[in-house]
Amino acid sequence: MQRGMARRVCDRSSPLPATSEPCLVRLVSRLKLEHLQTFLAVARYGSVSRAAEALNLTQPTATSRIKAMEASLGTKVFDRTATGMSLTKRGDMLLQYAAQFQQLSDMVEENVMDAAGVDRLMRIGVSETIAQSWLPDFIGALHKDFPNLKIEISVDISLNLREQLLRREVDLAILLGPISDFTVDNIELPSVELVWFRAAGEGRDVDLRTTPIATYARNTRPFRELRAKLFDRFGPDITLFPSSSLSSCFRMVEAGLAVGALPKALGRSMVEAGKLVEFDAGVAPSPLNFSASYIGEPRNYVIEAAAKTAQAIAAKEL
């Protein structure tokens, strides 16, 4: 009875086999791993164009891979609708097999393949605090570990980076975190200390009720927290100069146009050069807590390794 069932499961006339390992091997022998990767991406995003962008492909290439896979299987795996791509019943069956082989491929890449052989695109989103501090060292370390890794970098505020990660538009987000979402894994990074800076030639006494304050962009957590503390201490009449450019904030402070609650690590060289001085404003800005965050499933050891590298570089630089 069991043998008869096995023969029916492995029937060569069936486009998609069930769960036996010999059938699974025979299935993939008809396909290419790149076809399965494209299939998984389209299933994940529900769109060929978004899948192609994530895989660093042209849309026609992604489309041709799906068509070639369907031709090899002799069945449709997607229904094309006005709202996107949805899995057919056969496509839903294929999904579990494709995920298994993607996991196997990642294990081979991690445990067998030389790191120099890893040739893929990684999309990294970072906040400007990171971009202005240890991002170059981080990218250098990644290239040392994975010489053929292609890296695409975007700099944005943490709120936007969170949404980009959840929409899978970036693979790794280094942002004010952690992200509280069950799909996301977070590696905590060393906190970034904020201190008060003023121009070196200005007087020692600074009245924050009458002095403009340069700080983070309006729709960020550091801005909201600092504004709340200043309102509690001085009332609503303070003047804040929010900016998405930390370098612009430092230039304003250096020119004596404002004081700033800014990252200590970024102002260190200007203090050593005699351009800025730290001072006690009576209100201590909260430190910034960053995380290296990524989607946990499907597991990708290269992204995990990059997140741990970010942690190591941040600990060294900060």
Over 47-97, what HEC string results?
CHHHHHHHCCCCHHHHHHHHHHHHHHHCCCCEEEECCEEEECHHHHHHHHH
Lowest mean pLDDT among 94-103, 184-193, 240-249: 94-103
Three-state secondary-structure class, residue 3: helix
Q: Is residue 1 scored above 50 in pLDDT?
A: no
90-146, pLDDT tens digit by residue? 989 888 888 877 777 777 666 665 556 666 789 999 999 999 999 999 999 999 998
Cβ(54)–Cβ(168) under 8 Å?
Answer: yes
Where does the pLDDT of residue 26 fall: very low under 50, low under 70, confident under 90, or very high at 90 and above? Answer: low
Q: What is the mean pLDDT of residues 167-177?
A: 93
Three-state secondary-structure class, residue 280: coil
55-69, pLDDT tens digit by residue? 878 899 999 999 988
Query: Burial of 260 by CB count in 10 Å (0-12 exposed, 13-18 middle, 19+ buried)?
Result: buried
Mean pLDDT, the chain, integer: 85
Number of H helices, E strands in the chain: 13, 12
For the structural domain made of 194-279, what CATH number should be given? 3.40.190.10
Q: 291 versus 298: which is more confidently predicted?
A: 291
Cβ(207)–Cβ(213) under 8 Å?
Answer: no
Lowest mean pLDDT among 3-12, 67-76, 91-100, 299-308: 3-12
Written out in words, the top-level CATH class of the domain with range 115-191+289-317 is alpha beta
Task: Determine whether domain 2-111 maps to CATH 1.10.10.1590.
Answer: no
Looking at residue 27, its pLDDT comes to 53
pTM exceeds 0.85 for this model: no
Q: What is the mean pLDDT of residues 255-267?
A: 95
115-191+289-317 against 194-279: fold identical: yes
* DSSP 8-class letter at 158: H
Q: Is residue 8 scored above 80 in pLDDT?
A: no
Instruction: Show me where the domains of the chain are located.
Output: 2-111, 115-191+289-317, 194-279
Where does the pLDDT of residue 272 fall: very low under 50, low under 70, confident under 90, or very high at 90 and above? Answer: very high
Looking at residue 80, its pLDDT comes to 87
Distance of CA 98 to the CA centre of its chain: 24
Looking at residue 311, its pLDDT comes to 97
Q: Give the DSSP letter string of 161-198.
A: HHHHHHTTS-SEEEEES----TTEEEEE---B-EEEEE
